[in-house]
Amino acid sequence: MNIRLAMCGSVAALSVYAGTVAAAPAPDEAHSVAAGGTRPSAPFRPAELKSALDGVQRAGIPGVYAEVREGGRTWRGASGVADVTTGRPVTPDMRQRVGSITKTFTAAAVMQQVERGRIRLDAPIGDYLPQLVPGERGRKITVRMLLNNTSGIPDYIRYAFPSLQTGSPQSLDDNRFRQFRPAELIELGLNAPPTGEPGGHTGVYSNTNYLLLGQLLEHVTGIPAEKYITRNVIERAGLRHTGFPTGTRIQGPHSRMYEALWGLLDPPRDYSVYNMSWTGTGAALVSTTDDLNRFYSKLLDGKIVNRSSLEEMQRTVPVIALDGSTIQYGLGLHKVDIPDCGTFWGHDGTVWGAGTISLTRSDGKRQMSVAVNLQRWNTPDSSGKPPHHPIDDALKTLYGQAMCGDGQAARP
């Protein structure tokens, strides 16, 4: 069976609802103005949010939890179980492998070095890492192209997990405790057929780019990228439950993480224990919904990078995601325009068994972070493409309530 390889940093979740949510203001409640929208979004309602959360669980997700912020108000909720065997409930404060949300942290760290003059956005990556990206490619591909995925370097995931191309999950288990080196993963991407010319009008999403950015950070700072990001991004934002894993297990309260792999794993298999070296500075972070909302609030308020750097991060180009959809991607940031509700910035991510999304409206007054403990639930049809699933509808309803205050807004 052939399956589509949207392996890491799902970015598909954003395309599920981007541009499909329209807010319907509540007649009896005060409204907040939605930046970038033509009408105000409705205030969030705890009962409707909890109902939408329960709907995701009923649709087939074992456990889902979320935090929504509006102005000075915060709502946290959870539905379902963290362990399908014991029935242990999921809670809103649980830690989660947040996948490609890590890319925003890495991009912010790079921009800090741009501010210090140690990195030039439009300099060739070969000026810094000639041994990793040699020759003409190293001269043509710039730091900016790595950040916004217009480098033409393909994603390495399908080559690091080769059994997936033949419809077998075997390589997931083979690599559970394997220690990958960034250089070997980068080499896998560079040796694969390019996805386009460097600097092309439309980019192609690639985790290889962000492993290279991690190596760039290490080169210019003299310390491992994970340590630099921890000191200068995570700690600067005041995050207490966010960090790169030091072993195969998540420290602190967390859910088990169930991978269905488009029906190849039935029942879904627990991949909570895993060596995350296969994704590093591209998608290895562990965090909480509370920390994610705090991080994006600080970032968009100019507290992590300066305003000039933030403007660069918000310059978007069309990028083809791993699922084939086209998204608006900046430097480690997704842009999501929702008619009549506003413009949101953030990222989503998925690793084996865990999916997370975090979006903040451009005025900073509305935020949503959602985590689920099941991934790739759609079983492919005869054409090999994952069909629509009730979970998709339930998530759109939740996103509509969380971002715009209107669960009826999430229309296909």
For residue 156, report the phi and psi dihedrals to the nearest 5 degrees: -90, -10
CA 377 to CA 331: how far, in whole Å? 29
Write out the two tokens for 405.
């205050």
Q: What is the pLDDT of residue 237?
A: 98
Least confident of 8-22, 187-201, 321-335: 8-22
Question: What is the pLDDT, as a whole number, of residue 381?
Answer: 82
Provide the residue type at 162 as one letter.
Answer: P
Amino acid 351 reads: V
Does residue 273 have a pLDDT over 70? yes
- β-sheet bridge partners, residue 77: 66
Out of 40-49, 91-100, 232-241, 385-394, pick the least confident.
40-49
Predicted local confidence at residue 15, as pLDDT: 43
Q: What angle do CA 399, 67, 85 make, to 5 degrees?
A: 90
pLDDT exceeds cutoff 60 at 250 = yes
| More confident position, 280 or 2 | 280
pLDDT value for 323: 84
Q: Which tokens is 32 given? A: 């907040």
In this predicted model, which residue has the larger pLDDT, 118 or 25? 118
> For residue range 96-129, what is the model confidence (pLDDT) as tens digits?
999 999 999 999 999 999 999 999 999 999 999 9
Percentage of the chain modeled with pLDDT above 70 = 89
401 vs 25, which has greater pLDDT? 401
pLDDT at 407 > cutoff 90: no
- Taking Cα atoms as reference points, which of 302, 296, 245, 235 lies closest to residue 272? 245
pLDDT, tens digit, 9 for 90 and up, residues 300-320: 999 999 999 999 999 999 999
Predicted local distance difference test score (pLDDT) of residue 259:
98
Mean pLDDT of 182-194: 98
CA dist., res. 231 & res. 410, Å (int): 39
| pLDDT for position 136 | 97
Mean pLDDT value across residues 292-297 = 98
Q: How far apart are CA 129 and CA 70, in angstroms?
A: 43
Residue 207 and residue 88: Cα distance in Å, rounded? 34
Average pLDDT over residues 206-219: 98
Give the model's pLDDT for residue 27: 29
Name the band, by pLDDT with cuts 50, 70 and 90, for residue 388: confident
How many of the other CB atoms lie within 10 Å of CB of 170? 12
Distance CA 183, CA 134 (A): 13
Could you tell me if 291 and 234 are in contact, meaning their C-beta atoms sit under 8 angstroms apart?
no
Q: Give 375's strand partners.
A: 259
Nearest CA to 332 among 217, 251, 255, 409?
Answer: 217
Q: Give pLDDT, residue 382.
A: 79
Out of 5-14, 72-81, 97-106, 304-313, pick the least confident. Answer: 5-14
User: Averaged over 124-147, what is the pLDDT?
Assistant: 98
Mean pLDDT along residues 308-336: 96
Of residues 156 and 27, more confidently modeled:
156
| pLDDT number for residue 9 | 42
Q: How confident is the model at residue 44 (pLDDT cuts 50, 70, 90)?
A: confident
| HEC-encoded secondary structure of the chain | CCCCCCCCCCCHHHHHHCCCECCCCCCCCCCECCCCCCCCECCCCHHHHHHHHHHHHHHCCCEEEEEEEECCEEEEEEEEECCCCCCCECCCCCEEECHHHHHHHHHHHHHHHHHCCCCCCCCEHHHCCCCCCCHHHHHHCEHHHHHCCCCCCCCCHHHHCHHHHHCCCHHHHHCCCCCCCHHHHHHHHHHCCCCCCCCCCCEECCHHHHHHHHHHHHHHHCCCHHHHHHHHHHCCCCCCCCECCCCCCCCCCECCCEECCCCCCCCCEECCCCCHHHCHHHHCCEECHHHHHHHHHHHHCCCCCCHHHHHHHCCCEEEECCCCCEEEECCCCEEEEECCCEEEEEEEEEECCEEEEEEEECCCCEEEEEEECEECCCCCCCCCCCCCCHHHHHHHHHHHHHHHCCHHHECC
- Asked whether residue 32 carries a pLDDT value surpassing 60, the answer given is no
The separation between CA 120 and the C-alpha centre of its own chain, rounded to angstroms, equals 25
Mean pLDDT of the chain: 90
Region 152-178 average pLDDT: 96
pLDDT at site 37: 41
**Which of 37-46, 154-163, 289-298, 362-371 is least confident?**
37-46
